[in-house]
Structure 1
Amino acid sequence: MAITFAVFALVYLAPGDPVRALLGARASTPETVAAIRDRYNLDDPFVVQYLKWLWQVLHGDLGRSIVGNRKVLNVILERMGLSLVLAGISSLIVLLVGIGLGALAALRRGGWIDRGSVTLGVVGISSPAFVTGIFLLYVFGVVLDWFPVYGAGDGVLDRLWHLTLPALALAFSVMAIVVKITRAAMIEALSKDYVTFARARGLSSRRILFNYVLRNALIPVTTAAGLVVVGLVAGSIYVEATFALPGLGTLTVDAVSKRDIPLIQGTALVFSVFVVVANLVIDVLYTLIDPRIRYGGSKS
């Protein structure tokens, strides 16, 4: 409920005449203006407008796009698949490379791998997704000609090939955060007494690493996963625009540039719901990693 109110209110409070935004560059007559105001309930108070819009949303109706007069939900569903694939590949890169490199840096603390990962973290956090995307696009797409420079590709393998650079650009800055958090958490876990006790018991280094160190180090990483999700959602808009990918990010940019209010509301609502659902999944994973969360409130 709070998300829907925020999405509707932000668009409602945007500067400019909503009728002119809905009309765009088309000519208008008093009759046309009156019809638009009646169709979008612009003469009603703000609360009434919001409740009518919310009622439509709850019934799966996000309205119709001004450009093309198509249902907003259908337009979003057409673009969502590509964005989900891009987010999935980027998340896989973030988790595998970010956690792996952070753990390796902690185990080789003070070595060249550690110094390299710290440098990578500083560069990654300092580089916005669109800057990384332009750099990768120029070096590996234009100069070396290893990857395609735009488009989503056709077929499974071709699509994965087209999405490699965008996924790396989207994952780079977020991965840097995961590397820094994992490294710090691993270093702290390695200094705990239970690790020393496990070594004294003669447990193998592999078992100590996975059963004691890494599992406890993943707790702060999971806690910060909400920032990772927000970073992926925000970065996808810039990355899709940089690589000309027909996903939700590009759709949002087009909607804003054309002032397509129903489409802006629809895409903003979808992004917001995605962030909320992802954070709920993270909370569930948090309880699986740390059983103390599940049993903490059961004692009297």
Structure 2
Amino acid sequence: MIWRFVARRAVMLVVTALVASVAVYGALFVSPGDPATLLAGGGKPPSPRLIEEIHRQYHLDDPFLQGYWRWLSGMLHGDAGQSLTYRDSVTRLVTDRIGNTLFLVAYAAVLVVLPGVALGTLAALRGGLGETLVTVVTTALMAVPTFVMSVLLIWGLSVQWDWLPAYGAGSGFAGRLEHLTLPALALAASWLAYVAQVTRSAVRAELASEHVETARARGIPERFVLRKHVLRNAAGPVFSVSGVAVAGLIAMSSVVEQAFGVNGIGALLIQSAAKQDLAVVQALALIAVVVFVTVNTVVDVVGAALDHRISLEGAA
């Protein structure tokens, strides 16, 4: 049963990735403007012969299907083509920067999952003023956009108090940890609040469930009820929302990287899009979609395994 469920999800993952690849390549294939003019340079309009030669060299005039197949097969073999702006391999550009993005997303994920689950659980179990305070703070954090949070953190913790650096990614583990603390906080803030809210709701729902009341009526110790019935049953939705949060961190990392001057693939995507560097934009957009869908697929599978109330046969 579980293997059929995993197989269906795997097929959906492959189909989604293929559809996304067609959409990514097709959108940029019909986009306005000619990227060949970037390579021609100079202040005056380039000659038609030069534009034609650039088109031939970079296969910019290939028919859609031919160009799509060349690009997709190259991506599958680790060759994403040549950057029109940086005059370098797209694969090299990505590998040189992906470490910073992975560190940032992993750092932010820790800041989201651990405090978010802990705060949500404590708020649900304790109730009263503590629950109200957590609800108010998390609601406020969810209302603040990531780019606004970035500006506030730079102004408060870097400019005013000079506690942490606000630019660059640093070098080495300690240097990255110091330089990426503010970006990770900005990236994690709204998602931490979301995870805390969902955790609180899930735990509260389990506390009020009939099987928990029955267990208490039978005289089962409270700590056993909380561990075996409440927290265990709430683990499914909590894990699912945590996975969605991690996927959201990946999607929003470009905003934070640009704000804090982090040399990651998110910032590279924004810069390349502004310069019409099609090869870089295509590769990074496809990578982002595949990673996002893969994370969601893993979350669906693990969440279904954790939550026995989800029917694996009926899940799509």
2:208 aligns with 191
1:174 aligns with 191
1:31 aligns with 49
2:107 counterpart of 1:61 = no
Alpha-carbon offset, residue 30 of structure 1: 2.2
* CA–CA distance in structure 2, aligned partners of residues 117 and 207 of structure 1: 25
Task: Tell me, yes or no, if the aligned pair for 1:102 and 1:181 is still in contact at 8 Å.
Answer: yes
Residues 220-239 of structure 1: per-residue CA shift (max 9 Å, x gap) = 23333454234212321111
Query: RMSD of the TM alignment (CA)?
Result: 2.1
Task: Tell me, yes or no, if the aligned pair for 1:105 and 1:114 is still in contact at 8 Å.
Answer: yes
Q: 1:216 aligns with which of 233, 244, 248?
A: 233
2:178 counterpart of 1:126 = no
2:106 counterpart of 1:91 = no
* CA–CA distance in structure 2, aligned partners of residues 263 and 26 of structure 1: 24
Q: Which moved more, 1:225-234 or 1:169-178?
A: 225-234
1:108 aligns with 126
Structure 1 portions without partners, runs of 5+: none
* Cα pair distance change 1:232/1:25, threshold 3 Å: farther
SS of residue matched to 2:180: helix
* CA–CA distance in structure 2, aligned partners of residues 80 and 25 of structure 1: 32
Structure 2 portions without partners, runs of 5+: 1-17
Q: Which moved more, 1:190-199 or 1:282-291?
A: 282-291
Task: Tell me, yes or no, if the aligned pair for 2:24 and 2:285 is still in contact at 8 Å.
Answer: yes
Alpha-carbon offset, residue 24 of structure 1: 5.8
Alpha-carbon offset, residue 40 of structure 1: 3.3
SS of residue matched to 1:224: helix
Q: 2:269 aligns with which of 240, 252, 255?
A: 252
* CA–CA distance in structure 1, aligned partners of residues 282 and 81 of structure 2: 9
1:157 aligns with 174
Taking structure 2 as the reference length, what is the TM-score of the superposition? Answer: 0.86
* Cα pair distance change 1:42/1:62, threshold 3 Å: same
Q: Which moved more, 1:254-263 or 1:19-28?
A: 19-28
* CA–CA distance in structure 2, aligned partners of residues 13 and 50 of structure 1: 13
Residues 103-130 of structure 1: per-residue CA shift (max 9 Å, x gap) = 1111122x22212221122222211111
2:61 counterpart of 1:43 = yes
Task: Tell me, yes or no, if the aligned pair for 1:181 and 1:221 is still in contact at 8 Å.
Answer: yes
Residues 217-259 of structure 1: per-residue CA shift (max 9 Å, x gap) = 2322333345423421232111111111111111112112222
2:98 counterpart of 1:80 = yes
2:232 counterpart of 1:240 = no
Taking structure 1 as the reference length, what is the TM-score of the superposition? Answer: 0.91
- Residue type of the partner of 1:196? E
* CA–CA distance in structure 2, aligned partners of residues 13 and 117 of structure 1: 48
Task: Tell me, yes or no, if the aligned pair for 2:35 and 2:84 is still in contact at 8 Å.
Answer: no
* Cα pair distance change 1:292/1:188, threshold 3 Å: closer
